[in-house]
Chain A
Amino acid sequence: MKIRRATALASLALLPFAGAAHAQNAPDQAGVNDDLRREIEEQKQRLAVLERKLEIQQEAATAAAASAPKITANAQRFQIGSADNSNFIRFRGTLFADNRAYAGDSAPETADTFLLRSVRPTFEGTFGGIYDFKLTPDFGSGRSIIVDAYAAARFKPGFIVTVGKFKPSVGLERLASEPDLRFMERGLPTLLVPNRDLGVQLSGDFAGGAFSYQVGYFNGVTDGQSSDNLATPDVETDTGGDYAARVFFQPFINSDNFNLRGLGFGVGSTWQDLDGVSTNPYLPSYRSQGQLSVFSYRANTATGTTPNNATFADGERLRLAPQLYYYRGSFGFLGEYTQVKQDVSRTVAGVTRSDTLTNSAWQGQFSWFITGEEESFKGFTPQSTFQPGKSGTGAWELVARIQELDVDDDAFAGGANSFANPLTAISKETSYGIGVNWYPWNTVKLSLNYDLTSFEGGAATGDRADEQAIFSRFAINY
């Protein structure tokens, strides 16, 4: 525009000379006119050249920008990738700084504590738009472990191969990523499904996510545990393997039916034939919702040359986990039931008792964004952020949960020869929880949870005292 204006100005500047030329005689006038025309043409050429040079510079800058590596650093992610985004490396992380407090006499005073629940930097990336990797260590709770370390090949949406250490697809809430949990601690059904394990999985989505499947084979871990909990972390010592499978349906995910679009349901399962021994029993222990140990099978009490008398896994373990979620607008519901059938044995004074025990748990979890954000299983977008001195409250969410864990009564049958000690191990826990989450920023979350849990058994007389857990958390999810 400036150049065109300059052209016009140049032409105007020459007009007085043109006017003067009229005053000359005719041959001179013609010569002057020719000179002027030539001069104007030359000026036009110069300006056209300048314009073209600018154009070329802009084209070069655009071409360079199109092929230049992309660096993204914003509130959600830090990422370096190729221009077409088919190759990138991303840095993410979570930091959960918690406080746990217990009201009344429901827990020893030493249980009240501050802790770093999760300190997880994550490096993940993609090569060629197909091959993914993820590496997440955890330095929280005084540990240094590898939480996730896997590679995946996304050959097609319906055919993905994942190898390494990751979450076997079984329990619904277990599959939710940490930042997307509505309560600070996962519910009781998650106690019964594997956490992280080493193995291989085939998975995929069909019909735009309306149907998904996962089929895997893993080393196998006890209920709620990770392979890093093994005697030698992430090294298998048993010979059995865990077969895992899950199908999940979201039949209306692509429909215009607003009322049903957020409905998903499915079932997960694992099966393993597991031969433990009394010195290595491969059996789980369970925690209360307040994260205190409330159930374990009998450990060895024999002394001297008396044979080990701990309860141990002795046969098949079958987990079954029907599950459902439903999200509509700012309302969300997640429900799941998990059942574990486990063959166990115990040998006392040369007599071996065996049985199949069935432990189960269920939960119903409700969430509601009072600030109007849309609930979903995978993240949400706050409608506003909170910054002092500026308008905006961030996102506020209320949550409530009811849940129960039921240990098979047969675990306590047999008196002193029982598989679990009724004086120390609970047979049932029922928990009611409420909470509030505040998301002042996309990546920041403050949570306050209150869980009231009552128990059956687990005490020398009567039932274990009710537990009132008040947990709070400051979380960064980058």
Chain B
Amino acid sequence: MNQTNWKRRLLLAMTAAVFVGGAGQAAQAREITLLNVSYDPTRELYVDFNKAFAEYWKKKTGDDVKISQSHGGSGRQARSVIDGLAADVVTLALAADVDAIANNGKLLPLNWEERLPDHSAPYTSTIVFLVRKGNPKKIKDWGDLIKPGVSVITPNPKTSGGARWNYLGAWAWAKKQPGGSDATAREFVKALFKNVPVLDTGARGSTTTFAQRGIGDVAISWENEAWLATRELGPDKFEIVVPSISILAEPSVAVVDKVVLRKGTRTVAEEYLKYLYTPEGQEIAARNYYRPRNPQVAAKHQELFPKLELVTIKDFGGWTKAQKEHFGDGGVFDQIYAQ
């Protein structure tokens, strides 16, 4: 056999060794790591859920899956993913933030909402008021929030998904009042933010401001966060007030295609999100005060979730329109908060 043949054979063998070695790596990868980049108040939800999913996945495949969590204001989290934070999945406060990752980061397709049931929102929530025990400022509805001397806690809509739901909830209520219009809603929201002494970057920060730092008379809050604060920080300290009108908050979940493709974690990432829709996943969501989509699970926990009139993001023309009009640079929020 001549030298050229030897050389070719060796190169082939070494190339094969590289790929076989690589394949070997994959075959031996019994521990899989996922990163779930989520928004502020979901810490407790995903601690519970991750544990359950890891057990489920171990039983199903024999593989160990370790899920890391990252939390912060939803808008800021989306920005981090666009900037390179290697999220296998995002579970953010609203579709607009996932849209931003698809549009600006090109990390997943624009039709991501269609890949999972309920337009990729496996659980919902709404916006309520958390007040101090006895409700000393007699806050019953949105209109009470602009009264003189009422201090309101809500995060910054530029960085927090929850804050955007809060804002839109307030806008919807104002518009539904007699003689209500976009103009009156704008004035109402402007007056509301004049009563906001401090803007946190995320919902959990606002809870800390209100519940632990003792600032403010009322916190506009995710329903799940309000329940959590009441249960965890002291039922003798806080009360939940359900306004006459609120908004159906639909946190969105999605696999980040470019990341899972690079890491080879697509299957487990997809299964992770699908597990949120299972009765087990829905039960965990309900236990953490998120409104489950599954009717049976919702019925089981109905005492946690009072019925109220809910507008949806569709009433604002969808997230693309609402985001640009209200929260984009130079949008309504910038205009009223700068004044």
- Interface positions of A (Cβ within 8 A of B): 45, 48-49, 51-53, 56, 59-60, 63, 67, 82, 128, 155-156, 159, 161, 200, 202, 217, 239-241, 243, 273, 275
Contacts and interface: CB of A to CB of B under 8 A. Distances in A.
Closest 9 CB pairs of A and B: A49-B197, A241-B7, A239-B3, A240-B3, A48-B215, A52-B198, A217-B10, A52-B213, A49-B198
Which of B2, B3, B205, B214 lies at the interface centre, i.e. has the most chain A CB atoms within 10 A of its CB? B3
Contacts, number: 61
B22 interface: yes
A243 B85 CA distance: 42
A205 B198 CA distance: 55
B21 A159 contact: yes
Given A53-B198, A56-B200, A45 B215 contact: yes
B84 interface: yes
Given A239-B4, A239-B7, A202 B17 contact: yes
Nearest to B263: A128
Contacts of B209: 52
Contacts of A240: 3, 7
B21 A51 contact: no
A56 B72 CA distance: 13
A128 B258 CA distance: 14
Interface in B184-235: 197-201, 205, 209, 213-215
A294 B159 CA distance: 74
Interface in B7-40: 7, 10-11, 14, 17-18, 21-22, 25
A63 B14 CA distance: 45
Given A56-B201, A202-B21, A241-B6, 7 more contacts: A48-B214, A49-B198, A155-B25, A159-B25, A239-B4, A240-B3, A240-B7
Nearest to A156: B25
B80 interface: yes
Interface string B82-122: 01110000000000000000000000000000000000000
Interface residues of B, number: 31
B197 to A, nearest CB: 4
Nearest to B262: A128
Contacts of B201: 56, 59-60
B151 interface: yes
Contacts of A82: 84
Contact of A51 (B7, B22, B83, B213): B213
Contacts of A202: 14, 17-18, 21
A161 B16 CA distance: 12
B292 to A, nearest CB: 32
A161 B18 contact: yes
A155 B22 contact: yes
Contacts of A128: 262
Contacts of A51: 213
B207 to A, nearest CB: 12
A275 B7 CA distance: 14
A126 to B, nearest CB: 15
Contacts of B80: 67
Interface string B256-275: 00000010000000000000
B3 A241 contact: yes
Contacts of B197: 45, 49
A476 B113 CA distance: 58
A357 B128 CA distance: 91
12 contacts: A48-B213, A49-B215, A52-B215, A56-B201, A82-B84, A128-B262, A159-B21, A159-B25, A202-B14, A202-B21, A239-B7, A275-B3
A51 B25 CA distance: 51
A67 B83 contact: yes
Which of A51, A52, A243 lies at the interface centre, i.e. has the most chain B CB atoms within 10 A of its CB? A52
A321 to B, nearest CB: 21
A240 B198 CA distance: 74
A45 B151 contact: yes
A82 B10 CA distance: 38
A213 to B, nearest CB: 13
Which of B14, B17, B25, B209 lies at the interface centre, i.e. has the most chain A CB atoms within 10 A of its CB? B14
A98 B9 CA distance: 45
B205 to A, nearest CB: 7
B25 A63 contact: no
A243 B10 contact: yes
Contacts of B4: 239
A202 B83 CA distance: 34
A45 B152 CA distance: 12
B215 A273 contact: no
A233 to B, nearest CB: 21
Interface in B268-303: none
B330 to A, nearest CB: 22
Contacts of A200: 11, 14
A45 B217 CA distance: 10
A161 B19 CA distance: 11
B21 A217 contact: no
A202 B198 CA distance: 58
Nearest to A275: B3
B77 to A, nearest CB: 11
A146 B11 CA distance: 24
Nearest to B4: A239
A49 B2 CA distance: 83
Contact of A241 (B10, B200, B214): B10
A53 B197 CA distance: 9
Contacts of B7: 217, 239-241
A322 to B, nearest CB: 25
Contact of A56 (B11, B18, B205): B205
Contacts of A49: 197-198, 215
Interface string B60-83: 000000000000100010001001
A272 B200 CA distance: 69
Interface string B141-160: 00000000001000000000
B147 to A, nearest CB: 16
A59 B198 CA distance: 14
Contacts of A63: 72, 76
